[in-house]
A and B are shown apart, each in its own frame.
Chain A
Amino acid sequence: MSDDAEIEKLLRFLYLCPVGLADHGADGQVRMMNALAVKMLMPLSSDGQMENFFTVLEKVAPDLATLVQGYAAPSGMIVQDRAINVRNRREPRHYSLSILRIEGDTYMAALSDVTQTVVNEEIARAALRSQAAQEGRVEILTGVLHDIGNGITGMGTRTAILGAAPPWDELDQLSKLGAFLRQHRPALEAALGPDKAAALLNFVETVVGRFQHRAAEWRETVGLFSKSILHVQEIINIQRQFVHGGSTTRRMLDPGELVEDALAIQRGSFHKRGIEVVTTLDPDLGSFDGDRTRLMQVFVNVLKNAAEAFDVNGSKTARRTLRIRIRRLPPGHLEFSFTDNASGFDAPGGFLTITRGQTTKQSGTGLGLSSCVQTVASHQGTFTLRSPGRGLGATCCIVLPIKMVAEAEASS
């Protein structure tokens, strides 16, 4: 290849170089510059002046002359990856500028067009900001739903306790007083006279009647109130599942208190069926990590199932009993077991595999147990239901970790 051809090849290489290059002195005077550098810098030069590199860049990088002229080392990088923003006619362009001292009064400037990278970074930052804002809203919403859920659960507990309370003693006493007065009416008439005795009897019976009516209204109101609370709980639970893909705010819970609250809600059901509940708590259970509202729903469901198991034909046990036990299981777990002596069920190996639609009840939908299994699984626990056979009772066993591990930690 001739010298001319070599030179042409070199020129062509530099003309088409995808990086803007300029050779200049300490005073900024340009000695050489390739085509891309001109293309990039033209929007900055109103009069097409490209003779002085510092002058061209003065508006966007006014300190270049100072940096270059203040650089004492004989060679080395003076400016590295400085962001230069240039607004051309249509859109801003973003360049990365580096200036290298090659030797003496010879400096090389390199300009790279990083517009697409900057745009991509801005898109990524905007996406992160949007995600952070969304997560913030979700966090607030989750917290609000959690607090409302806890409040509603507390209301439900108190309402259930009120509903399960025995009949009013005062009414019972007043009824007995009415019966006593009727029984001893002759003596009463002798003491008060027939008119006053009749008036007193009438008064007491009227009061008893009104109190009975009000008691019935009270029970009906409490029942409606319980249903409404349950409905609100279901709505909140759906919303909590929806928000944040089902993750919820967790806190440390007292296992005994949790079961006791669930029992309070179902106490009326056990009382009505004559079921004796025996609870045994191991000492030093401590607290555990969980979502109170969702676990309450699990325990209430388990207790409801246990109570209804006594309704099944063939469960005419002389003494109906539900035994609840909470104990620590090494390493770092709690076991909640609910053992009844009700109808039981037949299942391979004694264990019932719970899938959506699976039920132990004749009229059940199987959605309650499936939901329980899912909730317990979301707490990194296990839910099992076993029975030695039909008519031989059943045990529901829930094992939960005292402290859940983070998802990444769990997967590793």
Chain B
Amino acid sequence: MTMNIDHSSLLDDLENADAQALDAADFGIVRMQTDGTVIAYNAYESRLSGLSAASVMGRCFFTDVAPCTNNFMVAERFSEPGALDAELNYVFTYRLKPTKVRLRLLRRAEATEQYLVTLKPGSP
């Protein structure tokens, strides 16, 4: 199964994906608990950021991994209750290089996990 960032069933696919499936995705995936604790960090995201999955697991994504997302555009969207499926253009500093990315923020209502999905335009 190939996951597609634009697909309407992306959240279903993410929830069903194991670590290997996440690493196979051609976009970045951060699976976290609703408090921001990272529980999966896929190979695509790790390659762009330069941070290994092992080094970010168990850390709060918004404060300890990618503090550039700790604002009203990203972290606060996740802090609002209920289901979430939002897309926005953003800038990540992958290896200190400001990089335009597409973000998709996903969470099911009453879920215990949430997803931040990133796509660097033009990347394989």
Contacts and interface: CB of A to CB of B under 8 A. Distances in A.
A8 B51 contact: yes
Contacts of B50: 7-8, 11
Contact of B71 (A14, A32, A33, A39): A39
A14 B95 CA distance: 9
B100 to A, nearest CB: 6
Contacts of A337: none
A225 interface: no
A34 B49 CA distance: 12
B75 to A, nearest CB: 10
* A interface SS class: mixed
Interface in A30-89: 30-39, 42, 45, 47-48, 50-51, 88-89
A38 to B, nearest CB: 4
A16 B93 CA distance: 11
Contacts of A89: 72
Interface of A: 7-8, 11-12, 14-16, 23, 30-39, 42, 45, 47-48, 50-51, 88-90
A95 to B, nearest CB: 14
> Chain B interface: which size bin?
20 to 34
B96 A11 contact: yes
Contact of B95 (A11, A16, A38, A51): A11
Interface stretch (B9-17, B19-27, B59-67): B59-67
Contacts of B64: 16
Contacts of A30: 98
A336 B52 CA distance: 90
A352 to B, nearest CB: 73
Contact of B66 (A23, A35, A42, A47): A35
Nearest to A89: B72
B67 A42 contact: no
Contact of B52 (A8, A16, A42): A8
A36 B69 CA distance: 9
B91 A48 contact: yes
A379 B91 CA distance: 70
Contact of B100 (A31, A32, A48, A90): A48
Contacts of A42: 68, 71, 73, 90-91
Interface in B69-115: 69-73, 89-93, 95-98, 100
Given A38-B91, A89-B72, A15 B98 contact: no
Given A8-B52, A8-B55, A90-B72, A38 B92 contact: yes
24 contacts: A8-B51, A8-B52, A11-B51, A11-B96, A15-B65, A15-B66, A23-B96, A30-B98, A33-B98, A35-B66, A35-B67, A35-B68, A35-B93, A38-B91, A38-B93, A39-B70, A42-B90, A47-B89, A48-B90, A50-B100, A51-B98, A88-B71, A89-B72, A90-B72
Interface string B45-61: 00001111001000000
B51 A38 contact: no
Contacts of B52: 8
A7 B95 CA distance: 10
B105 to A, nearest CB: 15
